[in-house]
Amino acid sequence: MNPTLKKPRESVDLSELTQSTFPDEVLEKVLSLVQSHKDRNSASLVCKDWYNAERWTRTKLFIGNCYSVSPEIVARRFPKIKSVTLKGKPRFSDFNLVPENWGADIQAWLDVFAKVYPFLEELRLKRMAVSDESLEFLAKSFHGFKVLSLLSCDGFSTDGISSIAAHCKSLTELDIQENGMDDISGSWLSCFPDDFASLEVLNFASLNSEISIDALERLVSRCKSLRVLKVNKNVTLSQLQRLLVRAPQLIELGTGCFLPDLTSRQYAELESAFSNCKNLHTISGLWEATYRYLPVLYAACASLTFLNLSYATIRSGEFLKLLAHCPSLRRLWVFDTVKDEGLEAVGTSCPLLEELRVFPADPFEEDIVHGVTESGFVAVSAGCPKLQYVLYFCRQMTNAAVATIVRNCPDFTHFRLCIMNPGQPDYMTNEPMDEAFGAVVKTCKKLQRLSVSGLLTDLTFEYIGRYAKNLETLSVAFAGRSDWGMQCVLEGCSKLRKLEIRDCPFGNAALLSGLEKYESMRCLWMSACSVTMNGCRLLAQERPRLNVEVIKDENSDDSADKLYVYRSVAGPRRDAPPFVVTL
């Protein structure tokens, strides 16, 4: 603000005019209302005052790559953090492409947080290495700790969860999902103190151990604010009924095993328990669900917006009947055992659908010729024009079908198509699937995330580079012909943040064409491509602010088997295991 332009008021001191128009308190008050970390990052760049006001008012920290910054740097900049979200390993570690003990250990962070943020309340971790000792440390160091969410993490066991249950007296959320953990026993549930009543979210659906159903019942009875309860498959239907009558206020329910074991009276009781749950928006679990007991759900399905059947291999017949009761569905996750007929029913019954995920029931079977095909996808697109997010595993696809799909649903933001046979062409024309993904990027202007598959030449990537201007995440496997493909993407996709590539013929020329690009991205992963150590060294030399890490296979040649490149203000990793070579 230029003081000479502003007409000074009479009693004002000239020196005041050199400061920001707003006093700090006002600026901080305004900025504290800004929630999105992206907006906050932008605000912090405006000027020094805004930077300071922002850092004093930020309470939620989101770190998409734990190695892009160090705990010390974070602690110096943000003094008042209450909630931390941390993501660690590259996404391909979910598919066993990253060796064990790669890193992303939470302990280094906890050590710093314990000193600087003793009032930390929330920790949400994804793909981090977490030990039982870390969990115990966490439970004992942060007295007001409320929220723990562990997704796709590994290294801990139910003993660590016991520490959390026993020591976190203010816990409101315990969300353990899909981790590589040791399921020793279900005794952790019994570690909650008898007077503990603050739980709002409890998700232990992916644990296998048996918990004490009595302890769970008592816990559920005490926690009047419980809104999310997802039990594991050892909880039977009759036990579920007893839980439901104690928690009719639930908004999200993950059932246990749906195997028949009820008398007719118990069946009626379960049905009535479900119909009393008037607020249910999400149902999941449903292990072993068959036609026999699915009808108990019907009464609760009227307001259902998210149905997660991705652990229930139900057939199209019972699926159709269930769907008829779910007109308000916005998100649906199913197995491909529902087949195309099931998906046709989705098209007719769920006009509000925004997200569809179809998982393969037999992804590794050679001689299975079922599952879903392109016609199921087309059928859904015809009936659900509001589709934005799709994840679709199939064994056959055509360019024409995809073109039809995106014509029906131009609002896709996430399009993840996995034709399970690598490099498979359009099965009707035998051509590459280039035109399919061309149609996707040309039609779906809002596309943020894309996963491609099937037989693809460089043309696909030309299309992506030319049209996918909002693309942020791209996953490529067994595709492309030459460096040109990757170059097109790096040059054209201005908003690209995450690029993960495996088994493609992209080499050093492609890698180095992105020299200008990588610092504006979160990360690049290339495995089983044609990149060599020399190429990686060159990249590392030219861009010292990038961490260029290579994991080599056992052969001694020059190929860089697994390359992981990411920007960092923390410098090279200090905790890299021997198999990770930082260049």
Partner 1 sequence: MSVPLEHDYIGLSETSLMEKSSDKISSSSSSSSSSVLNLKETELRLGLPGSESVGVSLFGKDLEDKNLGFNSLSNFTSRTKRGFSDAIDASGKWDLSINCRSEADGEKQNLLFSPKRSVEEKKSVNASHTSKTQVVGWPPVRSFRKNTLATKKNEAEGKTGSSNCLYVKVSMDGAPYLRKVDIKTYSNYADLSSALEKMFSCFSIGQCASDGLPGQEELSETHLMDLLNGSEYVLTYEDKDGDWMLVGDVPWEMFTDSCKRLRIMKSSEAIGLAPRAINKSKNQN
- Give the C-alpha separation, 453 to 437, whole Å: 9
Q: Which of 86, 455, 539, 550 forms a contact with partner 1 (CB under 8 A)?
A: 455
Q: Which of 128, 171, 262, 550 forms a contact with partner 1 (CB under 8 A)?
A: 262
Specify the residue, 410 or 422, whose C-beta has the smaller distance to partner 1.
Answer: 422
The answer to whether the beta carbons of residues 102 and 577 sit under 8 Å apart is: yes
Which tokens sit at 444?
């779906």
Q: Minimum CB separation from partner 1 for residue 292, in Å? A: 8
Which tokens sit at 405?
């799909």
Q: Which of residues 38-97 bind partner 1 (CB under 8 A)?
A: 92, 94-97
Nearest to 495 by CA among 462, 540, 446, 529: 446
- Stretch of 162-170, 241-249, 255-263, 336-344 lying at the interface with partner 1 (CB under 8 A): 255-263
Specify the residue, 145 or 392, whose C-beta has the smaller distance to partner 1.
Answer: 392
Q: Minimum CB separation from partner 1 for residue 105, in Å? A: 19
The residue behind tokens 């034709």 is 419
Q: Which of 39, 72, 100, 261 forms a contact with partner 1 (CB under 8 A)?
A: 261
- Give the C-alpha separation, 31 to 72, whole Å: 24
Residue 284 makes contact with partner 1 by CB under 8 A: no
Q: Which of 115, 212, 428, 577 forms a contact with partner 1 (CB under 8 A)?
A: 428
Whether the CA torsion 416, 421, 422, 424 is positive or negative: it is negative
Residue 183 makes contact with partner 1 by CB under 8 A: no
CA atoms within 13 A on the CB side of 390: 29
- For residue 168, count CB atoms less than 10 angstroms from its CB and return exposed for 0-12, middle for 13-18, buried for 19 or more: buried
Residue 427 makes contact with partner 1 by CB under 8 A: yes
Q: Which of 477, 496, 523, 583 forms a contact with partner 1 (CB under 8 A)?
A: 477
The answer to whether the beta carbons of residues 254 and 231 sit under 8 Å apart is: yes
Q: Which of residues 110-169 bind partner 1 (CB under 8 A)?
A: 152
Q: Minimum CB separation from partner 1 for residue 63, in Å? A: 22
The site map against partner 1 for 374-413 (x = CB under 8 A) is -------------------x-xx-----------------
CB atoms within 10 A of CB 34: 15
Q: Minimum CB separation from partner 1 for residue 88, in Å? A: 15
Distance in angstroms between the alpha carbons of the first and the last residue of the chain: 45
Residue 556 makes contact with partner 1 by CB under 8 A: no
CB atoms within 10 A of CB 100: 12
Specify the residue, 45 or 369, whose C-beta has the smaller distance to partner 1.
Answer: 369
- Give the C-alpha separation, 321 to 345, whole Å: 9
Residue 295 makes contact with partner 1 by CB under 8 A: no
Q: Which of 44, 70, 163, 179 forms a contact with partner 1 (CB under 8 A)?
A: 179
Instruction: Encode 413-429: b = buried (16+ Cβ within 10 Å), e = exposed.
Output: bbbbbbbbbeebbbbee
The answer to whether the beta carbons of residues 320 and 341 sit under 8 Å apart is: yes
Give the total residue count for the chain. Answer: 583
Q: Which parts of this chain interact with partner 1 (CB under 8 A)?
A: 92, 94-97, 152, 178-180, 206, 259-264, 267, 292, 310-311, 313, 359-369, 393, 395-396, 418, 420-425, 427-432, 455, 457, 475, 477-482, 502-505, 507-508, 528, 530, 532, 559
